[in-house]
Structure 1
């Protein structure tokens, strides 16, 4: 297959390029060249900004396009319009943040989404991210109908993760010493970027239409604590603190203590996705590979997410002396 990827040089797109090339597909990248410009020298790159340079794709034909970085409806509308007659399938990477209530056990891919943002909305924040993606999904379906495929991943983890959310725990275990963790066994919404890439490739190869969640029901804090303990060995202990302590000390979910949501984010069903070809690797494998990558990169605290060394020690002292 000939596949165009909008993006493709940072994290989600990077893993997809690797997966597609391993399957023998012909890949074209459309990106700004601001990150990973030296990656994939064997792949055709068309440099340009999706806001102003879509005309550089004119006159070309691909079997499919994968949009890894569509955040605003106006952007997605423009790319759909430009590619309507140039691609057979439009695969859009959305998010589970489109769901209004992830604790609803009747949730499915066809129900329960947030009210969509306006077409011209351009204010991206934690509050607007979900509604913006809802409208982006609608735009793709309006243009492509049964030629549209939507994938809604949870927290994406694995090597090359520039957000450092899951990476924080691998770096923390590598560092050693007592580690502050939440006292919980709650589920963790997340999927390894390589499993997500393999699922996208499979959907493209099969020409599968529809909307699919990308999550791993096997991810939870019980297993993450076990993985952390094994990685830490005798170089320290896990110090579990209650949610009340974290809230009182203004530790934010997601970024303050990565993967901790204090029950605010539930997992989404993946029965439909598994039936369509989604497979999962273990949390231990994701952790090990991410830790190896982070160590090779020399990543150390402070990171983009998680506690600084000083803040963690301050919290440990406060908890142990309370």
Structure 2
């Protein structure tokens, strides 16, 4: 296949490009030129800012387009307008998000669960409140521009090498230091993940079969924060490492923001959307590697600026034990 990737030089897009090239496909990546040629020497590189000028796409055609960088519906519309005709994109895959859902009625919700209302104005800024609605609007724009058979991939938290957010990586690095580790909330709090490499291989297989519709690539519920931390600990923690679970109310009373403890949330909507049913994705061949294997592949990085420092963590643990 001839495949166009809108944003193929970072994380999910990079892993997809590598998978497609390894499988012998003809890959074109459109990106701003900040990275790419050295990472993907066998791909064709089109240098452009999708928000400014997509003229490099004129006159070209692909069998499939993978859009990993559409966060605003106007970006989907601008892509369609830049092509000579909608068919020039081939089979269109949009990487969306689990954030598109309204609060699910119950754990194990499927892809036909109600989405967030999206009939209002289109936000011009990505915030915690606007992100999910914008992704719904991107999905609607994709169907209008590229037809009803578009492929919508709604991942949960994506983990693995090359993750520039380092949310999962934070816990790998913290548990590798050992000692008493502050674990936020309760071990049974829901959390679903997917390794970017597994996601990429599966998306490529779906495109090869020209699959359509929406899918949840995620670990099956009940998948929890406790499961994740225990799996990471089994892979990287030194002997004697312990997890101390500190209650949400205590952390909130101490004014600890969620970003200080990555992947932790007390938001009911966010927790509810971490319980999706991935049966449809698994039935189409999604293979999920053990979280422990992913943890072993994470390279050291500079600590996240917003994360708890060792001193802050120690003080919180002391206060928790004295409460």
Alignment TM-score, normalising by the size of structure 2? 0.90
Does residue 218 of structure 2 align to residue 210 of structure 1?
no
Runs of 4 or more, structure 1, over 4 Å off, are 117-120
Moved more, 35-44 or 9-18: 35-44
CA–CA distance in 1 between the matches of 2:89 and 2:228?
Answer: 41
CA contact (8 A) 1:163 1:305 kept: no
CA contact (8 A) 2:176 2:238 kept: no
Residue ranges of structure 2 left out of the alignment (5+ in a row): none
Counterparts in 2 of 1:13-52, with a 5 A limit? 13-52=13-52
Give how far 1:43 is off.
Answer: 1.0
CA–CA distance in 1 between the matches of 2:60 and 2:28?
Answer: 11
SS at the partner of 1:214? Answer: coil
CA–CA distance in 2 between the matches of 1:140 and 1:180?
Answer: 42
CA contact (8 A) 2:192 2:218 kept: yes
CA–CA distance in 2 between the matches of 1:144 and 1:74?
Answer: 14
CA contact (8 A) 2:262 2:307 kept: yes
Give how far 1:117 is off.
Answer: 5.8
Moved more, 29-38 or 131-140: 29-38
Give how far 1:235 is off.
Answer: 5.1
CA–CA distance in 2 between the matches of 1:85 and 1:161?
Answer: 32
Give how far 1:319 is off.
Answer: 1.4
Give how far 1:131 is off.
Answer: 0.3
Counterparts in 2 of 1:108-257, with a 5 A limit? 108-116=110-118, 118=120, 120-182=122-184, 183-217=186-220, 219-230=223-234, 231-234=236-239, 236-253=241-258, 255-257=259-261
SS at the partner of 1:127? Answer: coil
Counterparts in 2 of 1:299-314, with a 5 A limit? 299-301=301-303, 303-304=304-305, 306-314=307-315
CA contact (8 A) 1:150 1:212 kept: yes
CA contact (8 A) 2:100 2:115 kept: yes
SS at the partner of 2:173? Answer: helix
Give how far 1:89 is off.
Answer: 0.8
Alignment TM-score, normalising by the size of structure 1? 0.91
Kindly tell me the number of residue pairs found equivalent between the two proteins. Answer: 314
Partner of 2:264: 260
